[in-house]
Amino acid sequence: MPVDRRKLAVFGGAFALRLLLLLLFPSLPDLLTARVEVSTPVTSFKRLQEGLFLYNRKVSPYDGGVFHQAPLLLPIFSLLPNSQVYPLPTALLYSVVDLLNANALVTISDSGQAVSGRLYSAIRKQIRWDGVVIAAWFLFNPFTIATCLGRSTGVFTSAGILYALSTAVQGHSLNSMLALGFASYLSIYPALLFIPLILLCYDRRIQRTNSAPTVTLFVLQHFAVFLLSIAGLLGISSLIIGDFSKFLFATYGFQLLVPDLTPNVGLWWYFFIEIFDSFREFFLGVFWLHLAAYVGSLSIRLRRQPLFVLASLLGIFAVFKPYPSISDASLYFALLPLYRHIFPLMRYTFFSISVLLYATLLGPAFYHLWIYAGSGNANFFYAITLVWSLGLSILIADTIFAALRDEWEQENPEKRGENVKQV
């Protein structure tokens, strides 16, 4: 098999850049790890180190009330030397995971499912970037680099999601369910991707075999594999931890009930600080229902483009999940270049990118004014997180509009290029 020199150059350059930043700025990983934009209570490397400290001393890592991540991460990281003394092995692990994620993006791009599927073929499908360009977009994204150097465990969830997508577009539907189960084990929200992912797997099965399997049987089989993968991982976790109920409450219960209101780039923390405790359960249900409601609506309206539904949902999760970080945004930004063909149909690209850049640059400044300078309050930082969420929301809505406009022009070729006004 011939070596793709462009791919080798991109992957090698991205790997070298991460190691170079570590060598030139040894204090950078600890600086990024402490940033609320990079680390959250469920992805923080510092909290992982606390859990690892207790685990290595035969104490339950959940006794301290600080560690809220999946137990399988503990035996993996226990094999690595102390990151404070020997930071290189940990940096190598995260860099390799980034390269694996980029390779999954290459597979997704090369499949062509973003522009042409079983039920839909874009009229502008010739306007596209190849997989190497999309991998470069991901690997050299500052958000991706900051997440890697900040050692957020969100990269492992992203890896599970991307490999669920890459195996689905290849037609390996059972492997896709296993990867989604792994991602859902690490963090709850990927489980919401099951419906559009099963639609993508179903379409690919028909394309490969030229025969339609029974829908009910197909869904039940894959749902069983998905549940069994999670059950198997939970079983292994119970062997590692012992106290199964404490593990469930400290990980999944923590994400569902959102007891830690540490500031982040999301919308939940400030809202739940301000409301009365008597309304907390009601608004928890409302917020989770709001997040889950997008799955069914997008899957129905954009049934012909299940991969686009998956990409859009990842963007929505980056805005509305309880503990978001720039890792979630970088995953969404990694999938956007797959839809180069709808960029000409987008209306607010400049505005949304400007808002995101504005929030990216001013977010750390506002946080510093609040926490360190003492010349501001929580409203300073929450205001800039609202701007960040607004920019992401506009971008997501604009891409959905462009995808729907592309479908409409395919159905009405005589009206291509005409202005459309909703009445």
Return the pLDDT at 421: 63
Which tokens belong to 139? 């690997």
Residue 73 within a domain: yes
Can you say whether residue 409 is alpha, beta or left, with left for phi > 0 and alpha for psi between -120 and 50 degrees? alpha
In angstroms, the first-to-last Cα distance of the chain is 56
Which tokens belong to 225? 């594999």
Residue 74 within a domain: yes
- In this structure, the number of other CB atoms found within 10 A of the CB of residue 330 comes to 24
Tens digit of each residue's pLDDT, the chain (423 residues): 466 889 999 999 999 999 999 999 999 999 999 999 999 999 999 999 999 999 998 888 998 789 999 999 999 999 999 888 889 999 999 999 999 999 999 999 999 999 998 888 888 889 899 999 999 999 999 999 999 999 999 999 999 999 999 999 999 999 999 999 999 999 999 999 999 999 999 999 999 888 888 999 999 999 999 999 999 999 999 988 878 888 899 999 999 999 999 999 999 999 999 888 889 999 999 999 999 999 999 999 999 999 999 999 999 999 999 999 999 999 999 999 999 999 999 999 999 999 999 999 999 999 988 988 877 788 889 999 999 999 999 999 999 999 999 998 888 777 776 776 655
Residue 398 within a domain: no
Which tokens belong to 349? 């690209």
Question: What is the C-alpha separation between 401 and 339, in angstroms, rounded?
Answer: 13
Q: Single out the residue of 68, 327, 316 nearest to residue 186, CA to CA.
A: 68
- In this structure, the number of other CB atoms found within 10 A of the CB of residue 33 comes to 20
Residue 346 within a domain: no
Produce one character per residue of 36-59: b if its CB has 16 or more CB atoms within 10 Å, e if not.
bbbbbbbbbbebbbbbbebbeeee
Question: What is the C-alpha separation between 303 and 312, in angstroms, rounded?
Answer: 13
Return the pLDDT at 418: 72
Return the pLDDT at 414: 73
Which tokens belong to 386? 């609202």
Helix, strand, coil percentages for the chain (3-state, nearest 5): 70, 0, 25
φ, ψ dihedrals at 121, nearest 5°: -135, 120
Cβ pair 226, 177 in contact under 8 A: yes
Tally of domains in the chain: 1
Return the pLDDT at 3: 64
Produce one character per residue of 211-230: b if its CB has 16 or more CB atoms within 10 Å, e if not.
eeeeeeebbebbeebbeebb
Q: Hey, is 224 helix, strand or coil?
A: helix
Those residues with Cβ within 8 angstroms of residue 390's Cβ, 6 or more apart along the chain or in another chain: 355
Residue 123 within a domain: yes
Residue 15 within a domain: yes
Return the pLDDT at 378: 84
- In this structure, the number of other CB atoms found within 10 A of the CB of residue 94 comes to 21
Domain that holds residue 162: 3-253
Return the pLDDT at 221: 95
- The whole-model pTM stands at 0.95
Question: What is the C-alpha separation between 139 and 13, in angstroms, rounded?
Answer: 9
Cα distances (angstroms) measured from residue 77 to each of 96, 252, 371: 14, 21, 31
Residue 249 within a domain: yes
Number of H helices, E strands in the chain: 19, 0
Return the pLDDT at 225: 96
Cβ pair 192, 243 in contact under 8 A: no
Cα distances (angstroms) measured from residue 222 to each of 180, 216, 219: 11, 10, 5
Question: What is the C-alpha separation between 352 and 390, in angstroms, rounded?
Answer: 8
Q: How many CA atoms lie within 13 A of 345 on its CB side?
A: 26
Question: What is the C-alpha separation between 199 and 119, in angstroms, rounded?
Answer: 11
Cβ pair 37, 326 in contact under 8 A: yes
Q: How many CA atoms lie within 13 A of 161 on its CB side?
A: 29
Residue 403 within a domain: no
Q: Single out the residue of 109, 118, 111, 123 nearest to residue 407, CA to CA.
A: 123
Residue 303's H or E segment, with its range, is none
Return the pLDDT at 415: 73
